[in-house]
Amino acid sequence: MKKVLDSVQKRDGRVTQFDQQRITNAIYKAAASLGGHNKKRSQEISDEVVFTLTHQFPLEDIPSVEDIQDIVERILIESGHVSTAKAYILYRDYRTRERRRVKRQKSMLLPYPLMYEAIRWNSVHDCDTIEGLNRIIQQGDLKGLVEKSDANYDQSIEKAADTIIDVRNRLKMIIIAGPSSSGKSTTTSKLSIALNERGIKTSLLNLDHYFFNLEDHPKDQYDDYDFETPEALDINLINEHLHQLVSGESIQMPRYSFEEGKRYADGKMIHIEEDHVILLDTLHGLYPPMTEGIEEDQKFKLYIETISQIRDENDEFVRWADIRLLRRMVRDAKHRGYDPLQTVGHWHYVRRSELKHIIPHIGTVDFQINGALPYDLPVLKQVIEPYLPHILEELSRQPEREDALMRANRINELLSKFSQFGDLNMIPETSLVREFIGGSKYTLH
């Protein structure tokens, strides 16, 4: 009887459903890190791995993740893909080391000054707990909280601009980086205005046009693509163009059609005037290869995160990443035509990429901004709550999407604790939350 491979044992001993697409994606990403984008060949090697597994393990045996990775390495080498095998081995070793030090890294990389300031500010304004925030809503004092919260955030932008003034003479670019839905676009717009008021002219550079063609990306079993990794962008071309711009040369940007999933070479001609500073609003601005070779003193790195210091009835702090997930669900539904269910299902790609490519570089930044607003969650609840029954129902029918269901249940339980915000018109068009719910004064990208 031929064995059907349907289970795999994870490192923590749990047995979960086998997913060949994970093997294909890992092979493809190892090749992509070397400049190769042959999705068909990655699938063929993945098929060889599965064939070997089904013959190497008896019916009653379940292969472990380590068993599978060993076989991937062997087949890559035997099939002549030695460089890809090396990249795969190096990444595997990297992941092993990352798992061992993840707790220590998290402790080292937490932005403690901003965390303390958020706790202090929330406590002073009686919104450091869900109970306190609900009391403000029920007493009709929300407008005052919105005004004070926005003013506090705006003040951090002014402080960043003042810091940049001190190093203006050497600057060529300002990088605004941070995880998904932390508020980079609004921060970039506000910072540009603040700098212009101080006599610093800026030129915004949009890196969305540097994505590789859609067909060059691996696709999972849910027809979802991983656009969250730096490898989804043509990093070499970005780096080359940034060098040219910093040197005073002109470039022709590519043009990416999101409707077609294709990149074309006939984009806009770009030239940065000598008295202008480049503003880079990008998810992966801290990823070293993107700006490699550009002098460090020519770059100013600003990092933004949703540092929410609001506690629930058990004295547990709300997860920062859950706020960003809710923001992205709202934004994707309102502005990108995505069902929020897709966003929840895609979130594991987001988290995996930011934990690997964004958060480890926090220690290299020059300034940090808190993009969380105390009134975030009541607003997001009002917009996203109607979608949640459908999301929970659909995910409950798909046992293989256990992680997505866990996230959906967690944010549903979180939002259930908040009162409805009420009239969204009291939120000004200059508010950061408008980046997600719509109605922003700024041209966002």
Q: pLDDT tens digits, residue range 229-249?
A: 888 899 999 999 999 999 999
Give the whole-angstrom CA distance, residue 153 versus residue 136. 19
Among 66, 84, 103, the domain-final residue is 103
Q: Is 1 inside a domain boundary?
A: no
Average pLDDT, the chain: 88
Judgement on whether residues 228 and 79 belong to the same structural domain of the protein: no
Judgement on whether residues 88 and 163 belong to the same structural domain of the protein: no
Count of the separate structural domains present in the chain = 2
Q: Return the bridge partners of 305, or none.
A: 370
Q: Is 300 inside a domain boundary?
A: yes
Judgement on whether residues 98 and 168 belong to the same structural domain of the protein: no
Judgement on whether residues 20 and 45 belong to the same structural domain of the protein: yes
Does pLDDT of 112 surpass 50?
yes
Q: Is 325 inside a domain boundary?
A: yes
Judgement on whether residues 123 and 95 belong to the same structural domain of the protein: no
At residue 442, the pLDDT reads: 92
At residue 229, the pLDDT reads: 87
Q: Is 198 inside a domain boundary?
A: yes
Res. 128 pLDDT band, cuts 50 70 90? very high
Contacts of 3 (CB under 8 A, 6+ apart): 54, 55, 57, 58, 59
Give the whole-angstrom CA distance, residue 115 versus residue 130. 17
Among 72, 103, 134, the domain-final residue is 103
Contacts of 316 (CB under 8 A, 6+ apart): none
At residue 431, the pLDDT reads: 97
Compare 281 and 152 and report the one with higher pLDDT: 152
Q: Is 234 inside a domain boundary?
A: yes
Judgement on whether residues 90 and 124 belong to the same structural domain of the protein: no
Q: Is 279 inside a domain boundary?
A: yes
pTM over 0.85: no
Q: Is 93 inside a domain boundary?
A: yes
At residue 228, the pLDDT reads: 84
- The SS3 of residue 1 is coil
Judgement on whether residues 320 and 203 belong to the same structural domain of the protein: yes
Compare 412 and 281 and report the one with higher pLDDT: 412
Q: Is 386 inside a domain boundary?
A: yes
Give the whole-angstrom CA distance, residue 73 versus residue 26. 11
Stretch among 18-22, 137-141, 315-319 having the lowest mean pLDDT? 18-22
At residue 111, the pLDDT reads: 81
At residue 187, the pLDDT reads: 96
DSSP 342: H
Across 355-363, average pLDDT? 89
Compare 84 and 263 and report the one with higher pLDDT: 263
Tell me, rounded to whole angstroms, the distance of Cα 256 from its chain centroid. Answer: 20
Does pLDDT of 105 surpass 50?
no
Across 361-371, average pLDDT? 93
Full domain range(s) for residue 71: 7-103
Judgement on whether residues 115 and 235 belong to the same structural domain of the protein: yes
Among 57, 75, 103, the domain-final residue is 103
| Sign of the CA dihedral running 119, 124, 126, 127 | negative
Across 6-17, average pLDDT? 76
Does pLDDT of 222 surpass 50?
yes
At residue 419, the pLDDT reads: 94
Judgement on whether residues 98 and 147 belong to the same structural domain of the protein: no
